[in-house]
Amino acid sequence: MDTVISVDHLRKTYADVVAVDDVSFNVHHGEIFGILGANGAGKTTTVEILQGLRAPTGGRLEVLGLDPHRETDRLRRRLGAQLQASALPDRLRVAEAVRLFGRLHTPRVDVGATLEAWGLDRLRDRPFGVLSGGERQRLFVALALLGDPDIVVLDELTTGLDPTARRATWDVVRQVRAGGTTVVLVTHFMDEAESLCDRVAVMDGGQIVACDTPRGLTARLGGPVTITFDVTGRLDRTTLLAVPGVDSVTIDAAQVTVAGQSVAAAGVAVALAEQGIRPDDYRTRYPTLEDVFLSLTGRPPSGRNRT
């Protein structure tokens, strides 16, 4: 698998403040790589260094084989970005924005084709100032992808959007990856990273504290699968404890809680059926990235699930 971004012991300080502290990771071609963390974790500083917008204090990094600090102009032809604080003049129309930014690229951008590709054709004459949050983000993604970059950085893409607009924006991100572009997604929303990313680097206090697939992170660090249900009548607790993967069984009046590995879920249902028990309000809760974040940092995330 081709590596398109390589970061080795990256460090960034501002006087006595350490913003990025000994960060190392790789990004592979064609993946959606998430950088996940609370506000102030060092995520935006890290990707600004990757884009050549800030100089590192220490460490080594390459993006598409280039040094972002020394070869910024060459890199910008191959890397697109939607920044956290993106904004355009309120009176600038959508088609005008695409035409204006398109002039920065060679060959010239086909404005009509770009608008159609990103579902912006019906908005072509609409001023930026009256666009909804989701429409603005769709426009920013389209602008970031002008010139057909190899990598695009999307920083806090869905902050401030309602659940419907967020889901629509997620579809845009998937569309970007389907077109062959590598995506670096910066977010503090756990559900967003879990839904979109092939791999996730969890940042806290300027450091990467874990990096893996969402499933790998939840399997290693998310805690047990929890099954809860209500029963009437007698339940043989030892039968459930004998199910492979079950770690504990707690009975509180009529409510039963079973904790264990993911393989236990099917076995518990079978064991209940064999005892002739029909449980009420049967629920299975699998660990999430929010559980992983809490396990790693000792505090709940700032970006809780909102959908």
Per-residue pLDDT of 262-293, as tens digits, reads 878 889 999 999 988 999 999 999 999 999 99
- pLDDT at residue 298, as a whole number: 81
pLDDT score of 126 more than 90: yes
Per-residue pLDDT reduced to its tens digit, 146-166: 988 999 999 988 888 888 888
β-pair type (280-285, 225-230): antiparallel
Q: Please compute the mean of the pLDDT values over residues 230-241 and round it to a whole number.
A: 89
Task: Report residue 69 as tokens.
Answer: 């600090």
The pLDDT-based confidence of 4 (bands split at 50, 70, 90) is: very high
- pLDDT at residue 304, as a whole number: 52
- pLDDT at residue 85, as a whole number: 63
pLDDT score of 171 more than 60: yes
- pLDDT at residue 34, as a whole number: 98
Q: Are residues 112 and 105 in contact, defined by beta-carbon separation less than 8 angstroms?
A: no
β-pair type (3-14, 58-63): antiparallel
pLDDT score of 233 more than 50: yes
- pLDDT at residue 86, as a whole number: 74
Q: Give this prediction's pTM.
A: 0.85
CA distance 149 to 79: 5
pLDDT score of 59 more than 50: yes
Q: Are residues 184 and 153 in contact, defined by beta-carbon separation less than 8 angstroms?
A: yes
DSSP-derived secondary structure letter, 69: T
pLDDT score of 306 more than 60: no
Residue type at 268 in one-letter notation: V
pLDDT score of 223 more than 90: no
| Among 174, 169, 159, residue whose Cα is nearest residue 134 | 169
Segments in 149-301 forming alpha helices (H): 163-178, 190-196, 214-221, 237-241, 264-274, 289-297
Residues with Cβ < 8 Å from 144, sequence gap 6 or more? 80, 81, 82, 152, 153, 154
- pLDDT at residue 305, as a whole number: 45
Percentage, residues of the chain above pLDDT 90: 67
Domains of the chain in sequence order: 3-214 (3.40.50.300), 224-286 (3.30.70.100)
How many other C-beta atoms are found inside a 10 Å radius of the C-beta of residue 105? 13
Comparison of pLDDT for 126 and 303, the residue scoring more: 126
Which residue reads 């506000």 in tokens?
39
The pLDDT-based confidence of 84 (bands split at 50, 70, 90) is: low
Q: Are residues 265 and 225 in contact, defined by beta-carbon separation less than 8 angstroms?
A: yes
The pLDDT-based confidence of 307 (bands split at 50, 70, 90) is: very low
DSSP-derived 3-state class of residue 208: strand
Which residue reads 């209500």 in tokens?
230
Q: Please compute the mean of the pLDDT values over residues 56-72 and round it to a whole number.
A: 96
CA distance 101 to 116: 16
pLDDT score of 67 more than 80: yes
Going from the C-alpha of 92 to that of each of 120, 128, 220, the distances in angstroms are 14, 6, 49
pLDDT score of 301 more than 70: no
Per-residue pLDDT reduced to its tens digit, 198-221: 999 999 999 999 999 999 999 888
Residue type at 144 in one-letter notation: A
Q: Please compute the mean of the pLDDT values over residues 27-46 and round it to a whole number.
A: 94
